[in-house]
């Protein structure tokens, strides 16, 4: 990372990388205790622009910089009217050298016809355009989840940084279990390295012994059951998954699976094959075969309908506190009638 900027936009869905970058930024504030005293964390969904201005203009205490972090910044960037946008840009233009403002913008990358794009970029394009015209004001750091095909390299690199080593076969096997879920991958890497305690490199047998394969398999099984309209099987698979994962994490896994299915269905509708799914979506070959098989069970209209309902469930869970288990069980019941 370059020198600490007055404005940093962390854009993406890789929470592990976002946390690592925030920790690096915070470390640049100096003494950890003083850094904590000079850090303000705000929620973008309830952000008040005048409060943001005041926090950014507050002088740091016995330090050179004050860190202001706005989590969930995309909702506020999306909802601002033109006058409010101008007000925020005025705040950004007036950021003093003593301030380090970080906006965490949740977004996901997709691939269409071999080209990557950010799914929600239009909602905050005005901010990106302003940053493009004011290069000295700040920077955007992309924090997209790695492609599935890149995960073995990510696993090997993360293990080396932690002082351990993964054999190539072990890295590929773990990647096949966890997909591009970097948070779970990091947890499994830590568990495996702790188990071996530096005695040798992690091998495939260690991964089989200590890492459950059930998570990824049950996601596929859940989607298979939905495609078969088998309500009992789908509900069983969902309950197994919900026992092993936090609901927010599970929601993201299901959301990601249907996003991939929509992309696979689009490729199939254009006359593509499983190998094209593998190439364009940058997934492992066995994942491409499974996606192709599952996508054929749904029409594009059905997939888009499910995807829209998943987005609504996610919003309801975050805004109204609706229990995720109830929302998903209702959805499963409706889809398998």
Output the pTM of the full model: 0.70
Average predicted confidence (pLDDT) for the chain: 88
Nearest by Cα to 262 from 300, 224, 234? 300
The distance of Cα 172 from the centroid of its chain, to the nearest Å, equals: 21
| CATH fold label, 214-335 | Zinc Finger, Delta Prime; domain 3 (1.20.272)
Confidence of residue 239 (pLDDT cuts 50, 70, 90): confident
pLDDT above 50 for 15: yes
Share of the chain above pLDDT 70, in %: 96
| CATH fold label, 7-142 | Rossmann fold (3.40.50)
Residues of the chain with CATH 3.40.50.300: 7-142
- For domain 148-210, give the CATH number: 1.10.8.60
- Cβ-contact 310, 258 below 8 angstroms: yes
Residues of the chain with CATH 1.20.272.10: 214-335
Tokens of 5: 């900027």
Classify residue 148 by burial, with Cβ atoms within 10 Å: 0-12, 13-18, 19+: buried
pLDDT at 57: 96
Q: For 230-248, what is the mean pLDDT?
A: 83
pLDDT at 92: 95
Nearest by Cα to 128 from 142, 109, 114, 110? 142
pLDDT above 80 for 337: no
Q: For 275-281, what is the mean pLDDT?
A: 89
* Nearby residues of 200 by Cβ (< 8 Å), 6 or more positions away: none
Confidence of residue 254 (pLDDT cuts 50, 70, 90): confident
pLDDT at 319: 66
Q: For 180-200, what is the mean pLDDT?
A: 92
Nearest by Cα to 281 from 144, 154, 138, 111? 111
State the Cα–Cα distance between residues 323 and 325, nearest whole angstrom. Answer: 6
Q: For 76-88, what is the mean pLDDT?
A: 92
Residues of the chain with CATH 1.10.8.60: 148-210
**98-109: string of b/e by CB count within 10 Å (b at 16+)?**
bbbbbbbbbbbb
Pick 236 or 42 by higher pLDDT. 42
Q: In residues, how long is the chain?
A: 337
Q: How many C-beta atoms lie closer than 10 Å to residue 149's C-beta?
A: 18
Pick 196 or 320 by higher pLDDT. 196
pLDDT above 70 for 216: no
Confidence of residue 160 (pLDDT cuts 50, 70, 90): very high
């Amino acid at each position: 990372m370059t020198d600490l900027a007055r404005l940093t936009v962390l854009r993406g869905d890789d929470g592990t990388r976002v946390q690592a970058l925030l920790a690096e930024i915070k470390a640049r504030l100096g003494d950890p205790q003083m850094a904590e005293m000079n850090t303000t964390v705000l929620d973008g969904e309830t952000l008040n622009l005048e409060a943001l201005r005041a926090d950014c203009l507050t002088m740091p205490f016995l330090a050179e910089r004050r860190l202001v972090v706005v989590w969930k910044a995309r909702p506020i960037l999306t909802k601002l009217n033109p006058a409010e946008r101008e007000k925020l840009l005025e705040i950004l233009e007036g950021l003093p050298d003593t301030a380090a403002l970080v906006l965490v913008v949740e977004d996901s990358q997709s691939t269409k016809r071999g080209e990557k794009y950010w799914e929600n970029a239009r909602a905050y394009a005005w901010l990106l355009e302003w940053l493009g015209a004011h290069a000295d004001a700040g920077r955007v750091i992309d924090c997209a989840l790695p492609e599935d095909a890149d995960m073995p390299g990510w696993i090997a690199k993360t293990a080396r940084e932690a002082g351990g080593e993964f054999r190539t076969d072990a890295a590929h096997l773990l990647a096949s279990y966890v997909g591009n879920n970097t948070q779970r991958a990091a947890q499994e890497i830590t568990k495996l390295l702790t188990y071996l305690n530096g005695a040798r490199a992690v091998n495939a047998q260690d991964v089989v012994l200590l890492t459950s394969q059930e998570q990824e398999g049950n996601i596929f099984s859940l989607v298979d059951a939905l495609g078969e309209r088998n309500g009992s099987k789908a509900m069983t698979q969902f309950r197994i998954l919900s026992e092993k994962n936090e609901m927010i994490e599970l929601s993201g896994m299901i959301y990601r699976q249907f996003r991939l299915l929509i992309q696979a269905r689009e490729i199939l509708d254009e006359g593509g094959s499983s190998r094209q799914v593998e190439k364009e979506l940058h997934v492992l070959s066995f994942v491409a075969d499974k996606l192709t098989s599952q996508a054929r069970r749904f029409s594009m209209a059905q997939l888009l309908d499910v995807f829209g309902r998943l987005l609504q469930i996610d919003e309801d869970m975050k805004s109204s506190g609706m229990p995720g288990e109830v929302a998903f069980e209702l959805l499963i019941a409706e889809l398998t009638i």
